[in-house]
Amino acid sequence: MNFICNRETIQKCIMSSERVTGKNSSLPILNSVLITTNKNSLTIRATNLEVGVEFHIPAEIKKEGSVAVSGSLFSNILSNIPDEETITVSVIDNVCKIITKTKNITVKGLIPDDFPTIPIITNGENFTIQSQNFIQGVKSVIMSAAISDIKPEIASVYIYQKNKQLVFVATDSFRLAEKKIDYIGENISHGVIIPVKNIIEIVKVFEDLKENILFKITKTQISCTSKSAYITSRVVQGIYPDYEQIIPKNNTTEVLILKQDFINTLKLSTIFSDKFNKIQFIINPQQKKCLISTKNSDIGETESNLTVNMSGEPIEISLNGKHIFDCLNVISEDSITIQFNESNKPAVIRGVGDNSFIYLTMPLTK
């Protein structure tokens, strides 16, 4: 095998591919990327058997062939020759030589025939969405997904169609985020549950692109295809929790506050919060009082009285400060509303004027 290609282009693909590979001592081939020539282009593949990625980039092909090389090693090499515009790669007996104007590097490869096949989905349901819309949907909710795999359904992001919108949902049972994206396309009869670890890799592949992504869904797999990239992931076979039933239909207390003022107060409060990130809210619209306080027996305590617009009944409730911060980081509006029902019911946070996003956080017990 022998080819010439742009160093920066192949480096980006190798770096994206290398993130999928892992440290697998029992199957060393999974630590590698597979590079294959194809007429006037290169195909670069990587998989960890959960996620598979494939990139296509232009190249001048001198001799066809393939090689499997360590993804992390190849990525490190390319990162340390930044002044080179092009590289020449030749392979003989699975030994890969990388040649530039000033450098000659030799890398031992693995037998390419041992590299696992990446599934190609040809059937199932299809839908197309602009890459940046998909990424916005995922990034708006992913912080709420469970970290533990004990319950795979909630260690995931759930995507489904509702009327003319795609709905992205994640919850760890302590908080919940839902984001709706306008969608005009093929009808999707059922939703898809994508493991959070896998959807993070999908986002990384497409976050710099501004083009449409074609999704194909089966009972066990989902594939995502753009002009230059293909990625496939296992999906969770299960039923996502009926989360809509826990979203409050009304409220007894509402607070409207400038987001930046709220963030500034939370930053001070979290200095004194305990290991549970507990922040107490004391709200009394009749007395025009909105107190936020934290207390740590080892450090001290703080109390802030915020200037807000509020209405409804008095309430005292404790919430997780980190969960609130995570929510505020994805709200772009300058003002937010926080709605309460009772001290044992979830608080609901929205950006003012934005009906596409809703965030619920459960109260902490006293």
Q: Which of 92, 114, 136 is the last residue of a domain?
A: 114
- Give residue 84's pLDDT band: very low, low, confident or very high (50, 70, 90): confident
CA 119 to chain centre: 22
pLDDT at 47: 95
Do residue 283 and residue 313 come from a single domain?
yes
Question: Mean pLDDT, to the nearest integer, of 184-190?
Answer: 89
Q: In sequence order, what are the residues at sequence separation of 6 or more whose Cβ sits closer than 8 angstroms to the Cβ of residue 30? A: 21, 22, 24, 47, 48, 49, 116
Average pLDDT, the chain: 94
Q: Where are the alpha helices (DSSP H) in the chain?
A: 7-20, 71-79, 131-141, 196-206, 259-271, 321-328
pLDDT at 25: 64
CA distances from 313 to 91, 244, 320 (A): 74, 25, 22
Question: Mean pLDDT, to the nearest integer, of 280-291?
Answer: 95
How many CB atoms sit inside 10 A of residue 360's CB?
23
Do residue 167 and residue 185 come from a single domain?
yes
Contact yes or no for 32/114 (Cβ under 8 A): no
Dump pLDDT digits (tens) for 47-75: 999 999 999 999 999 999 999 999 999 99
- Give residue 302's pLDDT band: very low, low, confident or very high (50, 70, 90): very high
Dump pLDDT digits (tens) for 13-50: 999 999 898 776 678 899 999 999 988 999 999 999 99
Beta bridge partners of 319: 279
As a whole number of angstroms, the distance between CA 255 and CA 336 comes to: 8
Do residue 95 and residue 129 come from a single domain?
no
pLDDT at 185 over 90: no
Judge whether 331 lies within some domain. Answer: yes
> What's the first-to-final CA gap in the chain, in angstroms?
67
Dump pLDDT digits (tens) for 220-250: 999 999 998 999 999 999 999 999 999 999 9
Size (the chain), residues? 366
Judge whether 119 lies within some domain. Answer: no
Task: Tell me the angle at which helices 7-20 and 71-79 cross, rounded to the nearest 10 degrees.
Answer: 150
Q: Which of 197, 224, 244 is the last residue of a domain?
A: 244
CA angle 280, 284, 286 (to 5 degrees): 170
Judge whether 120 lies within some domain. Answer: no
Task: Extract the tokens encoding 25.
Answer: 């001592």
Do residue 300 and residue 207 come from a single domain?
no
Instruction: Name the percent of the chain lying above pLDDT 90.
Output: 88
Judge whether 366 lies within some domain. Answer: no
Q: What is the SS3 assignment for 178?
A: strand
Q: Which domain does 190 fall in, by range? A: 125-244
Question: Mean pLDDT, to the nearest integer, of 207-231?
Answer: 93
Do residue 74 and residue 181 come from a single domain?
no
Dump pLDDT digits (tens) for 88-145: 999 999 999 999 999 999 999 999 999 999 999 988 899 999 999 999 999 999 999 9
As a whole number of angstroms, the distance between CA 239 and CA 158 comes to: 10
Judge whether 346 lies within some domain. Answer: yes
For residue 144, which of 241, 220, 215 has the smallest C-alpha distance? 241
How many CB atoms sit inside 10 A of residue 238's CB?
12
Task: Extract the tokens encoding 238.
Answer: 């299960």
Judge whether 67 lies within some domain. Answer: yes
For residue 144, which of 363, 358, 353 has the smallest C-alpha distance? 358
For residue 46, which of 74, 21, 22 has the smallest C-alpha distance? 21
Q: Which of 200, 215, 244 is the last residue of a domain?
A: 244
Judge whether 32 lies within some domain. Answer: yes
How many domains is the chain partitioned into structurally?
A: 3
Q: Model pTM?
A: 0.92
Contact yes or no for 71/32 (Cβ under 8 A): yes
pLDDT at 205: 92
Burial tier of 202 (Cβ tally within 10 Å: 0-12, 13-18, 19+): buried
* CATH number, position 107: 3.10.150.10
Do residue 239 and residue 253 come from a single domain?
no
Question: Mean pLDDT, to the nearest integer, of 295-318?
Answer: 94
pLDDT at 366 over 80: no
As a whole number of angstroms, the distance between CA 344 and CA 141 comes to: 23
